[in-house]
Structure 1
């Protein structure tokens, strides 16, 4: 590990531990002492092993922790919930076999803590870089076996929104800037990014709605939002208020953890001209889940979610859904993390089906009487072509 990486992890651990991790742990019914940093807050357990949830009320409901209500990630969670709710047979009292319940989070580290500790929180949309740092710095203990991922999602852009008189990053020197609620991706990573770019500022930690109101009144010079473009709430706000996006340069110091991105007229037509774009940075997000034991009822519920979500994924690619769905590749791996086993099996079956279809193209036959022999031939063919 390089000195820079070690310093980053150490700083991250200190920020999390001192700023808000104690408050989160104290709020959980199952508490641990901060004097024992190697132990993550345990999930509350009932006699059935379901951390205190009432089976009759939640056995068909999977909780999905997401971002603030103004974020794209919350909109994505709502699309998952509403889309999967359609086309299901309901029970005698209108109950669904699978219900996804979006849970408001802050889009940052708190999302992961909620999945690890809160009853009914089974999944979370979270920035990969933050979850990686939690794994490496271990402020919650060793979470490598407690979390799995279902799929990699899309990039979340840094939107540095400024008042009209602020034209460059240099103009922010000594100004009051909102980075979002403490523990959010904006607060943790925005602080890191602006410090690395040499911007000295007075930090505020407000919700987006409050921050935009403070900007309108001239009490804030800028606010940072980390969310996948386009953010609908920003589109609406910009129609009636004069703001600008400040560029964030993709410097060498940011290349380890961040991706280059840009904001365009098509994303925010009220802010950017037809041929105008603003360079910025982004982080990758993913859908994580608690790693329930395979015999646990919650594991079976998540297995049902994966089967339904993956098999109906094409519905999210059509008009009426957020355009960032089209960036999602269900088969994309996430280095350093284990995929939820039912999700991995589904992807492997799809890959096997695709390979079998290619095999049939090279070995056409109308005789279906001996499918077993045909499949054995296919497996031998697949093994020969693995390296191709």
Structure 2
């Protein structure tokens, strides 16, 4: 056998052995990788939900048994459909009014029972901007209003608000990026923008000076879906109502999941996800991440939604741990105070009631 052939045979043998070892290692890791992979679908590109998803993916890179795989969706309603019916989707980040819209339009049967939430994230405010001669939302009846297409979150929000208030308008096609030009050109009498304030679109129209923000006041139905808010950004001068404040509604974002039963594989996966998210919120609010995280209160309830069991479990355990820590701290302080009284012999000159009052004052 030639030297070249011997070398080739040896190399081939090495490849086979190496491939076998790699295959064994891969087989060992595959189950763990899949068990910890969470596919998280958003309501679209360049939306607040996509930024939240990107941050969560980076936050969890250091977790050996957990990995976030963001997927760009095609609107909030489609994101819920994908969550419920598309194989492999574990969670979704959507505006919280999406479920109310689906329920009202009867798009998915029993959607309230199927979709729960792991976390309430930040919020965006409803900006309805109209020509200066339009004073109230009621004045938009029969007018041309740009609310975006059915795949845009603002379409969902605008549909719920106008329908609940009994205001019928003529929808004008056009994306959010085109909204300001539609208003300036006269093709739209008003536009609806849903964004954290200050909105760059609102700022642009404020500089123009020919438009105003309209007050959006909730009713019983809307107050069960949205939180009240005020638009008072300094950059909105020229848009705001008298006094510089405009009443409006706020839309929260939610990490939505299917209501998997306790004990299932998905339940354990989402329990790990909730644990890392809740434990890591302090890091997300340090200023290194998207500013919207500063608006997040994970323990806050989400009107009209049920919190998923894994999140409830984390919060309950966290409260127990806090109570235990407080109890231990109080006990240690009491023991230290008692030791101080004994060392200084102050206790021998005090009544039990006086010692108790002094101890209580010292521990406050």
- Show CA shifts across 1:321-342 (max 9, x none): 4454344332234466543333
Output the CA distance in 2 between the equivalents of 1:308 and 1:364: 31
- Show CA shifts across 1:188-220 (max 9, x none): 442343355464421135431243443344322
SS of residue in 2 equivalent to 1:358: helix
Is 1:162 matched with 2:133? no
Is 1:82 matched with 2:49? no
SS of residue in 2 equivalent to 1:159: strand
- Show CA shifts across 1:253-279 (max 9, x none): 744444321111257579669x72221
Match of residue 148 from structure 1: 116
Max Rg structure: 2
In 2 relative to 1, CA 81–238 (structure 1 residues): closer, same or farther, beyond 3 Å? Answer: farther
Shift of residue 289 of structure 1?
0.7
In 2 relative to 1, CA 149–134 (structure 1 residues): closer, same or farther, beyond 3 Å? Answer: same
In 2 relative to 1, CA 76–161 (structure 1 residues): closer, same or farther, beyond 3 Å? Answer: farther
Residue 147 of structure 2 contacts residue 154 of structure 2 at CA under 8 Å; is this kept in 1? yes
Which of 225, 234, 238 is the equivalent residue of 2:201?
234
Residue 125 of structure 2 contacts residue 197 of structure 2 at CA under 8 Å; is this kept in 1? no
Q: Structure 2-normalised TM-score?
A: 0.67
Matches within 5 A, 1:1-388: 60-85=36-61, 88=62, 97-107=66-76, 109-132=77-100, 134=102, 139-163=107-131, 166=134, 168-169=136-137, 172-182=140-150, 184-197=152-165, 199-227=167-195, 229-230=196-197, 234=201, 244-250=212-218, 254-266=222-234, 276-292=244-260, 297-334=265-302, 337-364=305-332
Output the CA distance in 2 between the equivalents of 1:124 and 1:98: 15
Output the CA distance in 2 between the equivalents of 1:362 and 1:323: 37
- Show CA shifts across 1:297-329 (max 9, x none): 544433332222111111222224445434433
Residue 110 of structure 1 contacts residue 184 of structure 1 at CA under 8 Å; is this kept in 2? no
Greater helix proportion: 2
In 2 relative to 1, CA 147–244 (structure 1 residues): closer, same or farther, beyond 3 Å? Answer: same
Q: Structure 1-normalised TM-score?
A: 0.63
Output the CA distance in 2 between the equivalents of 1:132 and 1:170: 23
Residue 38 of structure 2 contacts residue 66 of structure 2 at CA under 8 Å; is this kept in 1? no
Residue 267 of structure 2 contacts residue 310 of structure 2 at CA under 8 Å; is this kept in 1? no
Give the length in aligned residue pairs.
305
In 2 relative to 1, CA 112–303 (structure 1 residues): closer, same or farther, beyond 3 Å? Answer: same
SS of residue in 2 equivalent to 1:318: coil
Output the CA distance in 2 between the equivalents of 1:336 and 1:245: 28
Provide structure 2 residue ranges, at least 5 long, that are not aligned to the other structure.
1-29, 336-364
Output the CA distance in 1 between the equivalents of 2:89 and 2:293: 23
Residue 216 of structure 1 contacts residue 241 of structure 1 at CA under 8 Å; is this kept in 2? no
Provide structure 1 residue ranges, at least 5 long, that are not aligned to the other structure.
1-53, 91-95, 368-388
Residue 144 of structure 2 contacts residue 188 of structure 2 at CA under 8 Å; is this kept in 1? yes
- Show CA shifts across 1:161-193 (max 9, x none): 335665544653433212222265533442343
Root-mean-square deviation (Å): 4.0
Shift of residue 110 of structure 1?
2.9
- Show CA shifts across 1:213-244 (max 9, x none): 433443222221334x1266536755876654
Output the CA distance in 2 between the equivalents of 1:65 and 1:248: 30
In 2 relative to 1, CA 239–266 (structure 1 residues): closer, same or farther, beyond 3 Å? Answer: closer
Residue 187 of structure 1 contacts residue 205 of structure 1 at CA under 8 Å; is this kept in 2? no
In 2 relative to 1, CA 263–321 (structure 1 residues): closer, same or farther, beyond 3 Å? Answer: farther
Residue 57 of structure 2 contacts residue 67 of structure 2 at CA under 8 Å; is this kept in 1? no
